[in-house]
A and B are shown apart, each in its own frame.
Chain A
Amino acid sequence: QLQLQESGPGLVKPSETLSLTCTVSGGSISSRSHYWGWIRQPPGKGLEWMGSINYSGSTYYNPSLKSRVTISVDTSKNQFSLRLSSVTAADTAVYYCAKTTTDGYSGYLSWGQGTLVTVSS
């Protein structure tokens, strides 16, 4: 059974870069059929799609975050990563990694448990 697990610092200072990794187990991140994405949720608020990456490393970003977001994949470690630069308090959120169904935009079928990242000095 496919499992995803987010990892990274729970506290980041303003203006610094937030870095998270999603480790995939029970399946290959090199699958040609799936996209791997990052979705975040500020406390008490709704979901926001941040971006995704496919098996070949092609990336797709939310236009509102595009200048600050980088998603990359490490197939040797079966991981993909998120970097968000110049963070502010508004970036405080639970960050989820997820895998789509067999289409890159049909829906996210598998999710990590989420990790809370707080931006504060």
Chain B
Amino acid sequence: QSALTQPASVSGSPGQSITISCTGTSSDVGSYNLVSWYQQHPGKAPKLMIYDVSKRPSGVSNRFSGSKSGNTASLTISGLQAEDEADYYCCSYGGGSTLVFGGGTKLTVL
């Protein structure tokens, strides 16, 4: 069970859209619609932003959206705001009643 692959960093200007990818295998991301995304600000606990690939928990801005194609899931943030600057982690069901996280992506708002 290997960690999912995310870019180490992405950046964008306020108002722009950015996409963070999360690449797994046919044993995890590719086989299940159980991908979630978390936002983590420094010194804080992670916050669930997307679950089941594309569902948003109550209270999460609709600027955040998720999708999946094959073994790669994606998180898109539209209308980028300064408060979106944070680390983002994807997570997938890995089969065998296990979960696997991605290595994390640092989002910088320029």
What residue of chain B has the Cβ atom nearest to residue A104's Cβ?
Answer: B97
Residue B38 CB within 8 A of the other chain = yes
In the bound complex, do residue B104 and residue A96 qualify as a contact, i.e. CB atoms below 8 Å apart?
Answer: no
Q: Which of B27-55 contact A (CB under 8 A)?
A: 32, 34, 36, 38, 40, 45-48, 50-52, 55
The binding surface of chain A is classed by DSSP as loop
Contact A114:B45 (CB < 8 A) given known A60-B97, A108-B36: yes
Name A's B-contacting residues (CB within 8 A).
Answer: 37, 39, 46-49, 52, 60-64, 96, 101, 103-109, 111-114
Name B's A-contacting residues (CB within 8 A).
Answer: 1, 3, 32, 34, 36, 38, 40, 45-48, 50-52, 55, 57, 89, 91, 93, 96-104
What residue of chain A has the Cβ atom nearest to residue B87's Cβ?
Answer: A46
